[in-house]
Amino acid sequence: MLARARVVVECDGSGRTVVRELRSQAPLTLLPQRGAAAARSPVATVHVVGSASTPLGGDDVTLEVEVGPGAQLVLTGVAATLALPGQGGAVASRLVVRLQVGERAAVQYLPEPTIVTRRAEHHSELHAELGPGARLRCREVLVAGRSGEGSGRFQGLTSVREAGCPLLVQAQELGDAALHASAAHLAGRRVLGTELLVWGDDPPAAHAGVWWSLTPLARRGSLATAVGTDAVATTRDLATAIACHPGWSREVLTTATPEEGADKLRP
């Protein structure tokens, strides 16, 4: 199945972010947050909803996101993504996300975990282009198979650029047993989580726990990485890692009560 989706948001004269364009096709649906809370918030929130049978082998889905100068957008999933094999079993599914983030704009792209089932082959790409002073938060949690089954094949690429210069170019892979066992990859665990923060000041040095780390990048931004036995624990470790980020933690502390700040740091 071939599907294309697009969302465009802009900052209006009052400082609120409004959705100017919203188009989607099955199996991917975009739903904007509505109601009193949305009306009061300066941030636009759009939920990304996939059907229960996507991505299926052969699916080709593209999501284009354009965020105007000064606008703020949260793109969030509502349920885990289950990558499944197609009828032939040999054709890969593909998801491409393109983010165009304007000057001083901010985007948080927070999909739910992707579970790569046995015999599935799924390719994923995220391309982000940041304007001057733009901020970006992107999370990816990959689960190597359902409980009790082996992993299918996954190939992922994340490319983030600012003013034409690369901030991060990273490839991810699942489905190779030797790679899963390696201490340089999953160390025998089945969940790999990464979270990129290009959000204000970066830490002067790396932070690390038993199964997580937060590493400043060469130009700008920081990358959190965690491996775990289940998606809940891995996402929690990612939240612990980004709590060490001075730019992110400072914003949480200055824009929220202690209770709200704790909620912001939770997955």
pLDDT in tens, 22-70: 999 888 899 999 887 777 788 999 999 987 677 889 999 999 999 999 9
- Domain ranges, ordered by start, for the chain: 2-265
Q: Which residues contact 62 (CB under 8 A, 6 or more apart)?
A: 3, 4, 5, 95, 96, 97, 98
Three-state DSSP class for 265?
helix
Place of tokens 């009790």: 148
Lowest mean pLDDT among 73-87, 125-139, 150-164, 207-221: 73-87
Place of tokens 């975009």: 30
Would the pTM of this model clear 0.85, i.e. be above it?
yes
Q: What is the DSSP letter of 92?
A: P
> Is there a cis peptide before residue 132, judged by omega within 30 degrees of 0?
no
* Chain length of the chain: 267
pLDDT in tens, 104-124: 999 999 999 999 999 999 999
